[in-house]
Structure 1
Amino acid sequence: MRDEELLDAVARVLASDHSASMLQIASGVGTSRATLSRRYATREALIKAVAARSIEVVDGCLAPAGLHPDSADAASFDAALEELVVALLPAAHLYEFTSRDATVLADPAFRAGIERQDRRALAFLALGQRLGRLRVDLPPYWIWYSLWGLLDAAAEGVRDGHLARREIGRLVLTSFLTGARPPGP
């Protein structure tokens, strides 16, 4: 198993049980504790690696948010927003764990990565507001947090067996866009 696959699987286990031991994590990802310990000597090292993976994945997902404000129009913003939401879906399990783990949240490198990502996302959402594609009566932070809340709910719904993985893209996108769009005529 590649490191990326392993860390994604570990994040899924930890999202279900934040206090899982190395043995429980190894069992949950289908490997032995010895194999897991050879790659990550301690649970703390493993958790830091999951946090770093989270930052890396979300950085990649934010590529559509790189629209240039001077050349963006409503259509390009809409396409970039949809691409961003769909790209973030596979990262929901990483967010679900890292957003709740005190060790991760206390890590200055992780916090710096989150703050950098927030600035980028907020600038993108503010652009959508200026273009009239997102509601101006909602703060960009609320729109950004709302999106992550929907992603978190989708990941939990899939994990609990209440939602099909193939359905969550449509559900998240529809819920997000309906709530974030300005009221129609």
Structure 2
Amino acid sequence: MVHEEELLDGAARVLAGDHSASMVQIAAGIGTSRATLSRRYATREALLKAVAVRAIEVVDGCLAPLDLAQNADATAFDTALEELVVALLPAAHLYGFTSRDATVLADPAFRAGVDRQDQRALAFLGLGQRLGRLRADLPPYWIWYSLWGLLDAAAEGVRDGHLAPRQIGHLVLTSFLSGTRPSAPPPAGAPAP
């Protein structure tokens, strides 16, 4: 018997690849029957709502590294940032679907959960900017959205068979950091570019 979390994660993976997938297609994509899926979720909308609740719960769990004290140092921030990226990788398929589905986005409870998560992430990213570990010239929302964009691209690359799951952690982290870290100042006395 498929556990609830596995079923919802599987449904999210199918829906991330095809937002219009029917209950029959979703069931086939997760290796169960439509009857089994329908016993748990009477309608596609009920399934979508359950996937959205699962997405909020999973991402909430991933945000634990963000709970640094405001007086944390750069090393603690860097460690927490890496832990965040690694934690979010398995959640990318949930985000990939829920962030684009009109039914899910219209749900006030889902929107409230996303807004709460965004505020938590923005406070963390603001700390990174104050510590000089993230570029201060980029809006924190842009940094947060950029991370999710990379995570979504990584999930798609794995789903399409172009990337190995073991590669994406390194790829996402290095791509993210190369665009969000401040440039190193030139050594003293070096000519300006």
Tell whether the structures are fold-level matches, with TM greater than 0.5. Answer: yes
Aligned AA (1:159): R
CA distance in structure 2 between the aligned counterparts of 1:75 and 1:16, rounded to whole angstroms: 37
CA distance in structure 1 between the aligned counterparts of 2:177 and 2:19, rounded to whole angstroms: 31
CA distance in structure 1 between the aligned counterparts of 2:13 and 2:104, rounded to whole angstroms: 15
Aligned AA (1:14): L
Identity percentage over the alignment? 82
Q: What are the superposed Cα offsets for residues 96-154 of structure 1, whole Å, 9 maximum, x if unpaired?
A: 00011000000000000000000000000000000111000000000000000000100
Q: What are the superposed Cα offsets for residues 6-50 of structure 1, whole Å, 9 maximum, x if unpaired?
A: 100000000111111111100000000110011111110000000
Which SS does the other structure have where 2:19 is aligned? coil
CA distance in structure 2 between the aligned counterparts of 1:140 and 1:17, rounded to whole angstroms: 30
Aligned residue for 2:40? Answer: 39
Which SS does the other structure have where 1:20 is aligned? coil
Aligned residue for 2:56? Answer: 55
| Number of equivalent positions | 184
CA distance in structure 2 between the aligned counterparts of 1:20 and 1:138, rounded to whole angstroms: 37
Structure label with greater radius of gyration? 2
Aligned residue for 1:117? Answer: 117
- Superposed CA RMSD in Å reads 0.6
Deviation at 1:184, TM superposition (A): 1.4
Which SS does the other structure have where 1:67 is aligned? coil
> Which runs of no fewer than 5 residues in structure 2 stay unpaired?
186-193
Alignment of 1:142-161 (within 5 A): 142-161=142-161
Aligned residue for 1:164? Answer: 164
Deviation at 1:183, TM superposition (A): 0.4
Aligned residue for 2:13? Answer: 12
Aligned AA (1:20): A
CA distance in structure 1 between the aligned counterparts of 2:118 and 2:103, rounded to whole angstroms: 20
CA distance in structure 2 between the aligned counterparts of 1:183 and 1:6, rounded to whole angstroms: 44
Using the size of structure 1 for normalisation, the TM-score is: 0.98
Aligned residue for 2:31? Answer: 30
CA distance in structure 2 between the aligned counterparts of 1:138 and 1:20, rounded to whole angstroms: 37
Alignment of 1:89-104 (within 5 A): 89-104=89-104
Which SS does the other structure have where 1:132 is aligned? coil
Which SS does the other structure have where 2:42 is aligned? coil
> Which runs of no fewer than 5 residues in structure 1 stay unpaired?
none
Using the size of structure 2 for normalisation, the TM-score is: 0.94
Deviation at 1:180, TM superposition (A): 0.6
Q: What are the superposed Cα offsets for residues 50-101 of structure 1, whole Å, 9 maximum, x if unpaired?
A: 000000000000000000102x000000000000011000000000000110
Deviation at 1:178, TM superposition (A): 1.0
Aligned AA (1:30): G
